[in-house]
Amino acid sequence: MSAQSAARAVATEPELLRESIGPIAILTFNRPEIRNTLSESMLASLGEAFTSIAADHAVRAVVLAAKGPAFSGGHDLKELTARRSDADGGRAYFRLIMLTCSAMMQQVVRLPQPVIAAVQGTATAAGCQLVASCDLAVASADAKFGVSGINAGLFCSTPMVALSRNVERKHAMEMLLTGDLIPAEEAFRIGLVNRVVAPGSERDAALALARKIAAKSSHVVNLGKTAFYRQLEMGLDAAYDYTAEVMVENMLAHDAKEGIAAFIEKRPPKWEDR
């Protein structure tokens, strides 16, 4: 195949692939030639996919994966730089991209279903932010993580939001101030990823985790995920008041009645997701 033919083939393929394995939706970045950057069109594709998944009750968990050596290189700096010739120097476009990206990251957090990142390669800047925004993350031993904007004169301020909510502040500040890439084992040590697996097995490991979660009541998983993120932003008293009410509502749910009865009767529960 000629270079031109290869380029046309790439252009006709979706930049974000979606497939289903039972109740698990798998989203795969499919632009390895540009390091799966979070371009304007990729952000739109992710936003549309998450909107669709949020309304799809057949989906009980999501795995986010990527093709190529990079999970995601963050924002498309060439795309951003091209807008410096706008009349406002690119200000309006830069704001659009940053707000669009921030909204997509919040979609991940607010999605009813848990999202698991399967990180096979390098995740930098907003790509690292996306890993931090996912509920869980499985990394290949070959994966590396960084918020490297500082190296290009651009402090990773928006990636900092998710990063600083996942790792201790001094670890986050070191990553932000140095721009250094950290290996998967270090990312595990500081709490950025849940586990590190052999290269090439990260997708299967993420799917195994997704299947385990998918076997639970989706109603209770959604209730718990929502409560987890809300209470994080509260003071201690408010968090306990809020989660006590969540527990009351949970106890009144059908699946709690069924699950407790199944535990007492020593039988598998039959979830109705309500």
Phi, psi (deg, nearest 5) at residue 140: -65, 150
Tokens 């059908």, residue located: 254
pLDDT at 12: 82
Give pLDDT, residue 154.
94
- pTM beyond 0.85: the answer is yes
Kindly give the parts of the chain with pLDDT less than 70: 1-11
Residue 69's CB: how many other CB atoms inside 10 A? 12
How far apart, in whole angstroms, are the C-alpha atoms of residue 116 and residue 251? Answer: 27
Residue-wise pLDDT tens digits, 251-262: 999 999 999 999
User: Tell me: the pLDDT tens digits for 180-212?
Assistant: 999 999 999 999 999 999 999 999 999 999 999
pLDDT the model gives residue 6: 46
Cα gap 231→227, rounded to integer Å: 6
Helix axes 236-252, 218-232, angle to 10 degrees: 170
Task: Give the separation between CA 211 and CA 204, rounded to whole angstroms.
Answer: 10
Question: CA quadruple 107, 93, 31, 34: dihedral positive or negative?
Answer: negative
Give the rounded distance of the alpha carbon of 185 from its chain centre: 19
- Looking at this protein, which amino acid is placed at residue 10? V
